[in-house]
Structure 1
Amino acid sequence: MKRVLIIDDDEDIASILNLIFLDLGFETHTYSKATSIPNITEIKPDLILLDEWLAEITGSSLCRTLKTNPELKNIPIYLVSAVQGLKEIAKDCYADGYIEKPFALEEIEAIAKNIGR
């Protein structure tokens, strides 16, 4: 079973993403704030969805850290946000993509279907 790690401090968005991925057959791990590198390594996610605006750190900063970690650098990471310039932010932190809020269900499904291909 594929695993998705969702880190978003907006409970409604996190809940929607969680339900979508459960429906798609994923094991989900949802956090409202950034989690530790050892915890992410233990989860071994196949995909990480990361909000840009978290209370203690930006998603792009966490993404950059994950992409420089040898154990985690190959995990696809998508920034999820309504922030202006998200495409450029995602590119600058080496994210594999971005999802602008509000997002369409089809957009999430397309990303999920491409995991592990």
Structure 2
Amino acid sequence: MKKTVLICDDDKDILELCTFILNKDYVVKTSPHVMNIVELVREIRPDIILMDLWIPDIGGEQAVNLLKKEDGTQEIPIILFSANDEIEKIAKKVKANGVIRKPFSVKKLKEHISSILN
């Protein structure tokens, strides 16, 4: 059974590109916002989440904080996904499981997800 990756990013091109790259190896679900993120994650039940920092509504940092506080979502690995210069600092603060800097290489994206899931 394929593992599920949830990608939260408001950039439609990023969502399409990542879906194209990952859907051979994973079930890929996407969301262009993080409104009701806890409910969304409970519904989808992903094995890993790629979270953009600059996503509308509450933003990626706050979305990760909410997920890390809730029973049933706090153990899901989350990779912050951003061009933000402070991404490592923010990831440490919110207890994210990793970072992928934009722009990213296909190889790095696949390797990072695989290393966390395996």
TM-score range, shorter chain: over 0.9
1:85 aligns with 2:86: yes
Give the 5 Å matches for 1:24-39: 25-36=25-36, 37-39=38-40
Give the 5 Å matches for 1:88-99: 88-99=89-100
Gaps of 5+ in 2: none
- The CA distance in 1 between the partners of 2:87 and 2:117, in whole Å, is 25
Give the 5 Å matches for 1:1-117: 1-23=2-24, 25-36=25-36, 37-117=38-118
Change (3 A) 1:35 1:20: farther
Q: Report the number of matched residues.
A: 116
Shift of 1:116: 3.4
Contact 2:51 2:60 in 1 (8 A): yes
- Divergent runs of 4+, >6 A: none
RMSD between superposed Cα atoms in Å: 1.2
- The CA distance in 2 between the partners of 1:17 and 1:30, in whole Å, is 9
Q: Deviations over 1:10-36 (max 9, x none)?
A: 11111111111102x211111111142
Contact 1:46 1:115 in 2 (8 A): no
SS at match of 2:23: helix
Aligned AA (2:23): L
Contact 2:35 2:58 in 1 (8 A): no
Gaps of 5+ in 1: none
- The CA distance in 2 between the partners of 1:40 and 1:7, in whole Å, is 11
- The CA distance in 1 between the partners of 2:107 and 2:116, in whole Å, is 15
